[in-house]
Structure 1
Amino acid sequence: MTVKLGLGLPQMKQYDLGRDVPAVARAAEETGYDSLWVFERILFPTPATQGLFGIEGLPWPDQYRSVADPLVTLALAAGATERARLGTSVLVAPLHVPFQLARSLATLDAAAGGRVVLGVGTGWSKDEYAAASLVPFARRGRALDELIDVCRAVWGPDPVSYEGEFTRIAPAEVGPKPARPIPVYLPANSPRAARRLVDRADGWMPGATGVEALASAWAGLRELAAERGRERAIAVTVRANARYSAKPVDEAERAPFQGSVEQIVADLVAHAGVGVDEILIDLQGTMRDASELVDVAAEVHAGVRGAGV
């Protein structure tokens, strides 16, 4: 089976959002990309109270200094496309009021004709929590659970009602409804997160850290699903953050998805061999502008399909 290919939309400071998001979305759909994706970073702390991903001493990349709102970006892409699915990879659950996010996603899905995919996680930045979350950092897992519950309640039949730790919805009609049930994808970076995914989600959204690591994690997740009696298949969309360069990078020194188009294509083909459903390639960070992003994305797509994947 041919693996689906997704593309990260331009959200960073080198892009003219009103012009470039619709243009890139349209071009990607015409090229043949199956889906378009956004991510969430709400600020760039100076100085940061913790390193990137919470790792001591790991600096935040400069490209995070300005990242456009993910739902506004998806709305721009929705208006410029007809077929491609529109996904978040990922939203940080505790930075959102669950009821309001559920309504925004339902509205976007209704307007786009049933194309939204919700990738959502707990986040890791204490600076972002301090700025935007009403939930304590220590309760971020519970906040994610409640957001999923509230979304499914709001997207379901009226009257909607819910009583949780952070949210209370008195019986009410809530519309518009999504065009179809919006699938929920989760990361699984810990045993507890893996159990949440198996029990509650439609799909898994891992980062691309290498073929062996992906294969091992996917095998473990399938074993856990069998242990917990899950019968439905788990869809898998791998997120690959690429660092493109016009010239090849020394193979002995490069990380996965770093290098020339040919090297990035080789990594995509190798990761597809693990048996995943889709790979999201985010090229925007190292592009000069939208024109280069469109051109390189087209070369990557042609390379992968030319390899028979």
Structure 2
Amino acid sequence: MTTPLGIGLPQNHHYNVGRDVPDVARAVEQIGYESVWAYERALFPEPATQGLFGMPGVDWPDSYRSVAEPLITLALAASATERVRLGTSVLVAPLHQPFQLARTLATLDAASGGRVVAGFGTGWSLDEYAAAGIRPFEARGTVLDEVIGVCRAVWGPDPVSYDGEITRISSAVVGPKPARPIPILLAASNKAAQRRVIDHADGWLPLALGAERTAAQWRALRELAAERGRTRPIQTVLRANAEYTPEPYRGSDRALFQGNAEQIVEDLVPHAAIGFDEILIDLQRGPRDAQELVDVAAEVYEKARAAGV
């Protein structure tokens, strides 16, 4: 049985968002991809005040300069497609006002016929929190909890009521409602975040870190679910960040998912064997334009299916 495959939409600065997002979304749906995804990067500090992922001395990639807003990106994709799911991987939820975010996602789901997947994370950029955070960086986990609670309330039956630290809704009709319950998936690597997945979310959005390490994280999450008495399934979408090169990458220092289509699929195969529900491949780093991105997506899809993924 093959693994459903998703693709990252062209949000980075060398793409024309208004033209390329609908064109790429339409093309990858025709290729056979089952979902399209958008990520969030709100700003690019210059000079850098903090390393990538908060790691000292690690530069931010140039691709983070001017990343298109994820929900607008998905709305553009929704208008050009009929079948593919529309996911965020990830939306930095504590940068958004919970009530407005819940309404926007509900409207997008209603408009698209029930295709939204809400992938949330807490983020790591102090600069983004200074510019847009609803609460200080240190409160990001608490804010994420409230975002999830507000979404569940707003997407549920009327009248809606909610009494939180940020959001207070006193018995109101809130619409439109989503076409179906929107699944909430969380990026989570530490124990506290994993508990949030188990207790409050529908699923998990891991980052591919090598098959052995990724499989170990998945085992640990399932063990935690058993400890905490969760019986309902955990939906899983694995994110693979690729860096495409037209020719095979020859160096001994080849990073995971770096290289041509064959090398990307070579890394994909052992990750697919872990048994995730879906794999998202973000290929937008490397292709020079939208047409090359579509061509690479088609080649990766064909080779992945030929390899049994």
Query: TM-score category by the smaller chain?
Result: over 0.9
**SS of aligned partner of 2:67:** coil
Does residue 226 of structure 1 match 2:236?
Answer: no
Alignment partner, residue 38 of structure 1: 38
- Residue of structure 2 equivalent to 1:294: 294
Task: Output the CA distance in 2 between the equivalents of 1:11 and 1:246.
Answer: 21
Per-residue deviation, 1:251: 6.5
Instruction: Name the CA distance, whole Å, in 2 between partners of 1:251 and 1:240.
Output: 20
Post-superposition offset of 1:48: 2.0
How far has the Cα of 1:20 moved from its partner?
0.6
Structure 1: state its 5+ residue gaps: none
Give the deviation of 1:134 after TM superposition: 2.3
Structure 1 residues 53-64: aligned runs within 5 Å: 53-64=53-64
Q: Distance in 1 between matches of 2:3 and 2:12?
A: 27
SS at match of 2:45: coil
Q: Matches of 1:95 and 1:170 in 2, distance apart?
A: 24
Q: Is the 8 A contact 1:244 1:260 kept in 2?
A: yes
Aligned twin of 1:217: 217
Q: Answer whether contact 1:102 1:154 (CA < 8 A) is retained.
A: yes
Matches of residues 132-143 of structure 1 in structure 2 within 5 Å? Answer: 132-143=132-143
CA distance in 1, matches of 2:98, 2:252: 45
Runs of 4+ aligned residues of structure 1 deviating over 3 Å after TM superposition are none
Which range is displaced more, 246-255 or 145-154?
246-255
SS in 1 for 2:240: strand
1:41-120 aligned at under 5 Å gives the runs: 41-120=41-120
1:245-294: CA deviation from partner (whole Å, max 9, x where unpaired): 11112373211100110010111111100111111000112110000000
In structure 2, give the amino acid aligned to 1:40: E
Note the residue ranges of structure 2 that are not aligned, 5 or more in a row. Answer: none
Tell me the secondary structure at the aligned position of residue 138 of structure 1: helix
- 3-state SS of 1:11 partner: coil
Mapping 1:81-230, distance limit 5 Å: 81-230=81-230
Identical columns (%):
68
The letter for the 2-side match of 1:239 is R
* Matched residue, 2:306: 306
> Any conservation in 2 of the 1:48–1:127 contact (CA below 8 Å)?
no
Q: Check whether the contact 1:159–1:174 (CA below 8 A) recurs between aligned residues.
A: yes
Match of 1:29 in 2: 29
- Is the Cα–Cα contact under 8 Å of residues 4 and 277 in structure 1 kept in the other structure? yes
Distance (Å, rounded) in 1 between the aligned partners of 2:68 and 2:37: 12
Distance in 2 separating the partners of 1:253 and 1:136: 38
Q: Give the match's secondary structure for 1:284.
A: coil
Could you tell me how far 1:167 is from its partner in structure 2?
1.1
Contact 1:89 1:120 in 2 (8 A): yes
Note the C-alpha offset of 1:52. Answer: 0.6
What's the counterpart of residue 282 of structure 1? 282
| TM-score, reference length from structure 1 | 0.99
Give distance in 1, aligned partners of 2:308 and 2:216. 24
Q: SS of the residue aligned with 2:7?
A: strand
Q: State the partner residue of 2:14.
A: 14
Partner amino acid, structure 1, of 2:87: G
